[in-house]
């Protein structure tokens, strides 16, 4: 069974631009969560989607948004990029709530 797939692996953008990251969960998993990892703040929860609905959102500004499609694939979007958005963005999928979450290798976003 294929794991969680995130694309692209690396991305370089400039301030003010916007970016879309993609995540394909493990087949059969309906919950997709996104996390941001930075050296200063560690791993922080962004949001979680289940059956195309956002169920939970972390403490991030409205520039961070996401969605989930009917095939459970998910995208997250960051608009008006800031230098502080440079991070590793990780996607995780699980079968249901409170079930173990399996992570992809992440997208490393660098803002110049």
Partner 1 sequence: GEDVEQSLFLSVREGDSSVINCTYTDSSSTYLYWYKQEPGAGLQLLTYIFSNMDMKQDQRLTVLLNKKDKHLSLRIADTQTGDSAIYFCAEIYPGANNLFFGTGTRLTVIP
Phi first, then psi, for residue 84 (nearest 5°) are -70, -5
Q: d(Cα 75, Cα 20) in Å, to the nearest integer? A: 7
Phi first, then psi, for residue 71 (nearest 5°) are -90, 15
Per-residue DSSP letter, 83: G
Count of residues touching partner 1 (by CB under 8 A): 25
90 binds partner 1 (CB under 8 A): yes
* Region of 15-23, 69-77, 79-87, 98-106 interacting with partner 1 (CB under 8 A): 98-106
Going 40 to 110 to 93 to 31, the CA torsion angle's sign is positive
58 binds partner 1 (CB under 8 A): yes
CB of 97 to partner 1, least distance (A): 5
Q: Which residues bind partner 1 (CB under 8 A)?
A: 4, 6, 31, 33, 35, 42-43, 45, 48, 50, 55-56, 58, 90, 92, 94, 97-98, 100-106
């Amino acid at each position: 069974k294929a794991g969680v797939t995130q694309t692209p692996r690396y991305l370089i953008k400039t301030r003010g631009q916007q970016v879309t990251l993609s995540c394909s969960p493990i087949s059969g998993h309906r919950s997709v969560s996104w996390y941001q990892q930075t050296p200063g703040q560690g791993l922080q929860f962004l949001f979680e989607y289940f059956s195309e609905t956002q169920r939970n959102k972390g403490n991030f500004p409205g520039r961070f948004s996401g969605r989930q499609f009917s095939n459970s694939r998910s995208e997250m979007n960051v608009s008006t990029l800031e230098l502080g958005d440079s991070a590793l963005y990780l996607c995780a999928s699980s079968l249901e709530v409170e079930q173990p979450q399996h992570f992809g290798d992440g997208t490393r976003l660098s803002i110049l």
